[in-house]
């Protein structure tokens, strides 16, 4: 299986020839909670890097999904749209979101590796948890 790359918006990218498959990272789906609905672009639409390519609903709150690369939408995972819990249960396989034709391969250089992403999310969790583990009562 091709190696994944990640955007700062927590979207993974798997390059497959001239195309890329996109999905939400396990980290972000875990942080958001149970996804109840997905809104994605239509086949033939052009998504643009760093622009909204859809939105996800969790507990009646909608959050934008930022496109990691620019490209034409070739395929939508209709199973994930019909059953958004696939994104929670299997984000890197059955829970993928879109297949796009890569318009600008140079944009892939802006993405980070799996290892860098793991380090980034671990640092984020440490920064969030650590301040709460110490208090004036428990230094």
Given a cut of 70, is residue 112 above it in pLDDT?
yes
Residue in the block written with tokens 């998504």: 47
Pair 34, 88: CB distance under 8 Å = yes
How far is C-alpha 122 from the chain's CA centre? 16
Interval 24-55: pLDDT, tens:
999 999 999 999 999 999 999 999 999 999 99
Dist CA 91 CA 36 (whole Å): 14
> Under CATH, which number does the domain 4-133 receive?
2.40.50.100
Least confident of 8-22, 50-64, 70-84, 125-139: 125-139
Residue in the block written with tokens 């195309």: 19
> What confidence category does residue 138 fall into, taking pLDDT thresholds of 50, 70 and 90?
very low
Given a cut of 50, is residue 6 above it in pLDDT?
yes
Dist CA 116 CA 120 (whole Å): 6
pTM: predicted TM-score of the whole model, two decimal places: 0.86
Which of 82, 67, 77 has its CA nearest to residue 37?
82
């Amino acid at each position: 299986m091709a190696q994944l790359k990640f955007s700062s918006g927590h979207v993974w990218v798997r390059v497959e020839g001239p195309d890329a498959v996109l999905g939400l990272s396990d980290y972000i789906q875990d942080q958001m909670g149970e996804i109840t609905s997905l809104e994605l672009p239509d086949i033939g639409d052009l998504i643009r890097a760093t622009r909204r390519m859809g939105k996800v609903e969790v507990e009646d709150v909608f959050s934008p999904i930022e496109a990691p690369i620019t490209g034409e939408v070739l395929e939508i995972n209709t199973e994930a749209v019909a059953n958004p819990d696939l994104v929670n249960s299997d984000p890197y396989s059955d829970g993928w979101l879109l297949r796009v034709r890569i318009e600008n391969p140079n944009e892939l250089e802006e993405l980070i590796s799996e290892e860098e992403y793991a380090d980034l999310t671990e640092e984020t969790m440490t920064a969030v948890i650590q301040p709460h583990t110490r208090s004036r009562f428990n230094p």
